[in-house]
Amino acid sequence: MEQEKMQSIIESVLFVSGEPIKKAKLAKILAEKIEEVEKALEALSVRYAQAGSGLALLQKGEEIQLVSNPENAQHVEQLVKNELQDSLSNAALEVVSIIAYRGPISKTEIEAIRGVNCSYTLRNLLLRGLIERSDNLRDARGYVYSISFDFLKKLGTDDVKKLPQYDILSVDERINSIISNE
């Protein structure tokens, strides 16, 4: 494989993974020798050292991780603050209220109720610690979501059943008609 092609693939793989990856695993994905992988990583390092790059390679033992350029930490922090401390979007409010009154509930069921894909919203709510996920007992491949204890406390209660009108809202027939149709 050409060196440039290898660099491109390594960058893509490290970018998507987010986590540290063993060099041996990269070699396997590329079907190349580990020495070739190391050469490509070296070249990537040189590229990231150039002005204008916002990325960096973190090497720990046999593992490699793609991270943001530490010099930009201040701006990245600002982004994190913006993203996570903002008030909730309408979509996020809807999803979190569905989870509050109908949790534990699966992604498929939430999406059936809202009629749109909720992947991003669920991930953001998880990151903000407002919801929790656990294994779905009825479907081993999936998860179910419920409201986090921290968020309940923030709402001033220690039990979802004590949320306003829980007895009425949580058993509303209209939702059953949608979920059972899916």
Partner 1 sequence: MAYHIKLEQFEGPLDLLLSLTEQEKLDITRVSLAKIADQYLEYIANAQDITLAHLADFLSVAARLILIKSKALLPLIQFTEEEEEEIKDLEHQLAQYKKFKEAAKNLAPLYDSPRMSFSRDGFSGLGVVFYPPANITGDDLAKVFAKILGEIPVVEKLEEEMVKEVLTLEERIVHLQNTLRERVQTSFSELVANTVDKVEIVVSFLAMLELVKQRLIHVEQGELFSEIHMKHKQ
Interface residues with a second copy (CB under 8 A) are: 3-5, 7-19, 25, 29-30, 43, 47, 51-55, 66, 68-69, 71-72, 75-76, 78-80, 82-83, 111-112, 115-117, 119-120, 123, 126-129, 132-133, 148, 150
Find the shortest distance in angstroms from Cβ 179 to a second copy: 13
Interaction partner, residue 54 (a second copy, partner 1, none; CB < 5-8 Å by kind): a second copy
Interaction partner, residue 1 (partner 1, a second copy, none; CB < 5-8 Å by kind): none
Binding window for partner 1 (CB under 8 A); candidates: 1-9, 13-21, 26-34, 36-44: 13-21
Contacts of 7 (CB under 8 A, 6+ apart): 40, 43, 44, 47
9 binds partner 1 (CB under 8 A): no
Window 36 to 75, contacts with partner 1 (CB under 8 A)? 56, 58, 65-71, 73-74
Contact by Cβ (8 Å): 125, 96: yes
Contacts of the segment 111-119: beta carbons below 8 A, 24+ positions apart: 112/178, 112/179, 112/181, 112/182, 113/175, 113/178, 113/179, 116/91, 118/91
How many other CB atoms are found less than 10 A from the CB of residue 110?
A: 23
> For residue 160, which of 110, 105, 114, 83 has the smallest C-alpha distance?
105
Residues 143, 125: Cα–Cα separation, whole Å: 14
Instruction: Kindly write out the interface string for residues 117-136 of this chain, putting x where it contacts partner 1 by CB under 8 A and - elsewhere.
Output: x-xx--xx-xxxxx------
29 binds partner 1 (CB under 8 A): no
